Structure 1
Amino acid sequence: MSEFDDLFAANNDFVKDFKSQDLTGAAKKGLAIITCMDSRIDPLRIVGMKAGDAKILRNAGARVTEDVLRTLILATNLLNVTRVLVMPHTDCRMASGTEDQIHAAIFEKSGIDTRSIEIRTVTDQLAALKSDLIRIEQFPLLPKNISLVGAIYDVKSGKLTKI
């Protein structure tokens, strides 16, 4: 028995009721959401959308990294994205300690030294969010007319607070 058998069994059930929605790769509602990989976050439901409506970009801490910028270039130029929501959340592990503390926790748990990579922790989520918004606004390879907003998602209440 494989560690992934449950996934493929669930997919078999999914396929039984699956109805093709004739979706394309374009974001029907013109939105890209940059958010955390945290499994408590259901980005489309949070903003009242469904599959095909938005592009979802996820990473630890919802940070605007080089890869997020690369993906936004594609999304804004080829996939109908005209607005971007940057959405970190409360109770985020990436906001719970310094780089050194997170590296130490990983080493303690796994014995692996991760100090050669930048984890991109934040001690001030609001400041990090504002910095990431500026990074998008000033990135020269993105269209100047994209709409941009930041908001923090509260994992306890479900509320999205605009910044």
Structure 2
Amino acid sequence: MTGAFDDLLDANEKYASTFTHSGLSGRAARGLAVVTCMDSRIDPLGLLGLTAGDAKILRNAGARVTDDVLRTLVLAVYLLGVDRVLVMPHTDCRMSKSTDEDVHNLIAADYGVDTRSLEFQTVPDQRAALRHDITRITSSPYLPDDLVVGGALYDVHTGRLQSVEL
């Protein structure tokens, strides 16, 4: 793994030289899991006032509660100390600006790749999608009834969170 990743390996050497997190356990110290988007403008720990070891961060395109997110939440709740979940999509999300069909057509036209076997779970209505995703968590037979679940929309232009009532 050289060449294209040299900058990252160099940065890691600097990071490792002052590394201080070796004493952390795998448990979420603040009992929190955050489901958010993969968007690189989001710093989930920083915007929530958290530090390494405080929370489990689950990221995917659009901050969607997929089957894999549910699987991961089950592990986080029962094995890693999570007792509350925040689902946190964001403003100016590429997934909220297109339909799945638009994305398939764009990728086919620009790159010649047929992605129609994939479901991208685009988000035409972020608040409706957020309510749906929270319901997926709260109605899961694999998660405890007393799991605290909330939703908030992160504004990538102001850094502020807006709680979304369900």
Which residue is equivalent to 2:114?
113
Q: Give the share of equivalent positions with the same residue, in percent.
A: 56
Question: Shift of residue 109 of structure 1?
Answer: 2.5
Residue 156 of structure 2 is aligned to residue 155 of structure 1: yes
Which blocks of at least 5 consecutive residues in structure 1 are unaligned?
none
Q: Could you state the TM-score of these two structures normalised by the residue count of structure 1?
A: 0.97
Distance 1:20 1:153 in 2: 28
Matched, 1:66 2:67: yes
Partner residue of 2:88? 87
Q: Residue 120 of structure 1: SS of its match in structure 2?
A: coil
Number of matched pairs: 163
Runs of 4+ in 1 over 2 A off after TM superposition: none
Aligned pairs (5 A) from 1:119-130: 119-130=120-131
Give per-residue Cα distances to partners, 1:9-35, cap 9 Å, x unaligned. 111111112123410110000000000
Aligned to 1:145: 146
Give me the whole-angstrom Cα distance separating, in 2, the residues matched to 1:86 and 1:118.
20
Deviations 1:56-105 (A, max 9, x none): 00000000000000000000000000000000000001100111101111
Within a 5 Å distance, the mapping from 1:32-51 to structure 2 comes to 32-51=33-52
Give distance in 2, aligned partners of 1:159 and 1:3: 35
Deviation larger for 20-29 or 54-63: 20-29
Gaps of 5+ in 2: none
- Counterpart CA distance in 1 for 2:21 and 2:63 is 30
Does the residue aligned with 2:13 lie in a helix, a strand or coil?
helix
In angstroms, what is the RMSD of aligned CA positions? 0.9
